């Protein structure tokens, strides 16, 4: 963790930090109260109650607040727009949590929050109630000290993140005007395991598809009819071999056309990330990494697409042997996409490739989500970095992209707004698992980060008209 010299804190923010320090015990006990309310989206438990709880919390701070229905659970949208001329930040979070199973593995019950060893344990402590509650307290602290906020704030809280955010993109499309803002900041996920704060600027996209090969109308004897009846497993093996070669290069025509090379800034930020390849190999029992071998970890995870066979099914796999020519075989694949690759275009290219090389194979496109990338030097990037630096007194790690997929494109591509993910939870928050927790010091640093962000935005000379 690289220590940094304490940034200069203006008098106004210093007063807010003082307020946070004086009220930290009360803030933690209010977090415990909030965490008592279950809101499990996959089981429809407590969803309306927690949405209404948030409405009342935001209204109490003077936010113009309402729930907006979707065909699933409602969005909670709050607005404080009394800082004319200052930028508007959209703070995104989610009020739903994962189911608590297996209950017997919890040391204290998931919805009876408990403090042990400087941590709050409860379902939702880290993912995501503790994090958006920290944002709420940051706002409340500014209002308590100054009677106003330094910038305009929109709060968007989703109730379906834990079930894959099925309605966020359509919601953003239908409510562009309501959501108009200058930047989006999401406090979610864990910080780096070294304890360093991180800021994430993007995610990879994903497309999933299935290939189905069929030949005879039933399995046949591999002696009597072998050599006569085509084998659908071989058909898929040959087809797959035309899609990615032994050197690890994806050979689907046009697949890489829109892959944009990382900028110098992205490359430099990625090179500073502490990736320990030997530790990854040791932890996973690997003797080598995937081909091509000449790529850095960041290159592999952030800047290159992948083509992955998720599963291959067909024929006989039971004990002993069974000398058949199977009559059908199936493959499920996904491809992780990087910036500028468009899922529809990629699916079309894969389908055309299948038609050309194995016309008898059926191609079925499944789910897809576009990638998202906010440039490291995007407007407001420095303010977000400076807020993290001010609250943590260390330099944040900059992730140009995550390897995984989140629907961040709803903000960057549909809304056209730079989007930054600033996690507040500790790396061992055990999100989605028993004994989920947030360290109290991380939670309070989150409140300070939120406060410093609002302060930084208020004093920014911002690029109007972008
Ligand atoms: Zn989650």
On whether the CB atoms of residues 310 and 207 are closer than 8 A, the answer is no
Distance, CA 222 to ligand 1 centroid (Å)? 49
Does 466 have pLDDT greater than 50?
no
Distance, CA 191 to ligand 1 centroid (Å)? 14
Confidence bin at 365 (pLDDT 50/70/90) = very high
Dmax of the chain from CA atoms?
88
Please indicate, yes or no, whether residues 183 and 219 belong to a single structural domain of this protein. Answer: no
Tell me the per-residue pLDDT of 391-425, one tens digit each, with 9 for 90 and over: 999 999 999 999 999 899 999 999 999 999 999 99
Distance, CA 201 to ligand 1 centroid (Å)? 18
The stretch 257-275 carries a mean pLDDT of 93
Can you give the pLDDT at residue 156?
98
Domain boundary among 319, 346, 369: 369
Quote the mean pLDDT of the chain. 95
The stretch 358-375 carries a mean pLDDT of 96
Distance, CA 435 to ligand 1 centroid (Å)? 14
Please indicate, yes or no, whether residues 116 and 240 belong to a single structural domain of this protein. Answer: no
Distance, CA 436 to ligand 1 centroid (Å)? 11
Please indicate, yes or no, whether residues 225 and 112 belong to a single structural domain of this protein. Answer: no
DSSP structure string for 58-93? HHHTT-EEEEE--SSSPEEEEEE---TTS-EEEEEE
CATH for 217: 3.30.70.360
Tell me which DSSP letter residue 46 carries.
S
Dig out the tokens for 33 from the structure.
Answer: 């109260």
Confidence bin at 465 (pLDDT 50/70/90) = very low
Distance, CA 127 to ligand 1 centroid (Å)? 5
CATH for 379: 3.40.630.10
Name the burial class of residue 377, with classes exposed (0-12), middle (13-18) and buried (19+) by CB atoms within 10 angstroms of its CB.
Answer: exposed
Distance, CA 94 to ligand 1 centroid (Å)? 9
- Count of all residues that appear for the chain in the document: 466
Tell me the per-residue pLDDT of 314-331, one tens digit each, with 9 for 90 and over: 999 999 999 999 999 999
Please indicate, yes or no, whether residues 383 and 405 belong to a single structural domain of this protein. Answer: yes
Please indicate, yes or no, whether residues 18 and 116 belong to a single structural domain of this protein. Answer: yes
Q: Which of 349, 350, 317, 316 is nearest to 332 (CA)?
A: 350
Tell me the per-residue pLDDT of 24-55, one tens digit each, with 9 for 90 and over: 999 999 999 999 999 999 999 999 999 999 99
Examine residue 75 and state whether it is found in any structural domain, yes or no.
Answer: yes
Distance, CA 326 to ligand 1 centroid (Å)? 41
Please indicate, yes or no, whether residues 376 and 392 belong to a single structural domain of this protein. Answer: yes
Tell me the per-residue pLDDT of 373-396, one tens digit each, with 9 for 90 and over: 999 999 999 999 999 999 999 999
DSSP structure string for 318-343? SSS---EE-SEEEEEEEEEE-TT--H
Can you give the pLDDT at residue 5?
52
Residues 6+ apart with CB under 8 A from 305: 204, 250, 255, 256, 259, 335, 336, 337, 338, 341
For the chain, helix (H) and strand (E) counts, in that order, are 13, 19
Please indicate, yes or no, whether residues 218 and 169 belong to a single structural domain of this protein. Answer: no
Confidence bin at 460 (pLDDT 50/70/90) = confident
Examine residue 463 and state whether it is found in any structural domain, yes or no.
Answer: no
Name the burial class of residue 227, with classes exposed (0-12), middle (13-18) and buried (19+) by CB atoms within 10 angstroms of its CB.
Answer: exposed
Please indicate, yes or no, whether residues 111 and 28 belong to a single structural domain of this protein. Answer: yes
Distance, CA 160 to ligand 1 centroid (Å)? 10
Examine residue 291 and state whether it is found in any structural domain, yes or no.
Answer: no
Examine residue 279 and state whether it is found in any structural domain, yes or no.
Answer: no
Examine residue 253 and state whether it is found in any structural domain, yes or no.
Answer: yes
Please indicate, yes or no, whether residues 71 and 192 belong to a single structural domain of this protein. Answer: yes
Please indicate, yes or no, whether residues 197 and 210 belong to a single structural domain of this protein. Answer: no
Examine residue 393 and state whether it is found in any structural domain, yes or no.
Answer: yes
Tell me the per-residue pLDDT of 332-345, one tens digit each, with 9 for 90 and over: 999 999 999 999 99
Distance, CA 298 to ligand 1 centroid (Å)? 24
Distance, CA 432 to ligand 1 centroid (Å)? 6
Confidence bin at 275 (pLDDT 50/70/90) = confident
Examine residue 390 and state whether it is found in any structural domain, yes or no.
Answer: yes
Number of domains in the chain: 2
- Residue 254 sits in which domain range? 205-259+305-369
How many other CB atoms are found less than 10 A from the CB of residue 371? 24
How many other CB atoms are found less than 10 A from the CB of residue 427? 17
Does 249 have pLDDT greater than 60?
yes
Examine residue 281 and state whether it is found in any structural domain, yes or no.
Answer: no
Please indicate, yes or no, whether residues 188 and 227 belong to a single structural domain of this protein. Answer: no
Please indicate, yes or no, whether residues 357 and 376 belong to a single structural domain of this protein. Answer: no
């Amino acid at each position: 963790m690289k220590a940094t010299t304490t940034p200069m804190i203006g008098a106004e923010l210093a007063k807010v930090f003082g307020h946070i320090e004086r009220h930290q015990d009360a803030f933690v006990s209010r977090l415990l109260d909030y965490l008592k309310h279950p809101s499990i989206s996959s089981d429809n438990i407590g969803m309306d109650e927690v949405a209404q709880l948030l409405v009342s919390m935001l209204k109490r701070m003077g936010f113009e607040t309402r729930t907006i229905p979707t065909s699933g659970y409602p969005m909670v949208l709050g607005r404080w727009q009394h800082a004319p001329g200052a930028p508007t930040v959209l703070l995104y979070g989610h009020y739903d949590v994962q189911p608590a199973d297996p209950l017997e593995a919890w040391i204290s019950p998931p919805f009876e929050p408990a403090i042990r060893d400087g941590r709050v344990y409860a379902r939702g402590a880290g993912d995501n109630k503790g994090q958006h509650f920290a944002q709420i307290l940051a706002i409340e602290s500014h209002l308590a000290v100054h009677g106003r906020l330094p910038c305009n704030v929109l709060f968007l809280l989703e109730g379906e993140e834990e079930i894959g955010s099925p309605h966020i993109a359509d919601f953003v499309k239908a409510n562009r005007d309501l959501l108009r803002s200058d930047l989006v900041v999401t406090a979610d996920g864990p910080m780096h395991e070294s304890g360093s704060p991180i800021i994430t600027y993007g995610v990879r996209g994903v497309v999933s598809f299935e290939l189905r090969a069929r030949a005879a109308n039933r399995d046949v004897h591999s002696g009597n009819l072998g050599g006569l009846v085509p084998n659908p497993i071989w058909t898929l093996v040959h087809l797959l071999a035309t899609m990615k070669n032994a050197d690890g290069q994806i050979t689907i025509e046009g697949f890489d056309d829109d892959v944009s090379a990382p900028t110098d800034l992205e490359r430099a930020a990625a090179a500073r990330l502490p990736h320990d390849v030997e530790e990854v190999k040791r932890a996973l029992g690997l003797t080598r990494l995937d081909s091509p071998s000449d790529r850095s970890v960041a290159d592999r995870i952030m800047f290159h697409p992948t083509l992955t066979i998720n599963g291959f099914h067909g024929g006989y796999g039971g004990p002993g042997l069974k000398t058949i020519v199977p009559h059908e075989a199936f493959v499920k694949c996904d491809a992780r996409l990087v910036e500028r690759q468009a899922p529809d275009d990629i699916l079309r290219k894969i389908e055309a490739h299948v038609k050309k090389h194995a016309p008898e194979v059926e191609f079925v496109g499944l789910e897809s989500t576009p990638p998202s990338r906010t440039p490291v030097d995007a407007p407001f990037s420095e303010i977000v970095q400076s807020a993290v630096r001010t609250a943590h007194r260390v330099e944040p790690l900059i992730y140009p992209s995550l390897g995984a997929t989140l629907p961040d494109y709803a903000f960057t591509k549909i809304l056209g707004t730079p989007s930054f993910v600033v996690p507040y939870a500790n790396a061992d928050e055990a999100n989605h698992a028993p004994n989920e927790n947030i360290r109290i010091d991380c939670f309070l640093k989150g409140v300070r980060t939120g406060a410093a962000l609002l302060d930084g935005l208020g004093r920014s000379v911002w690029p109007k008209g972008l």
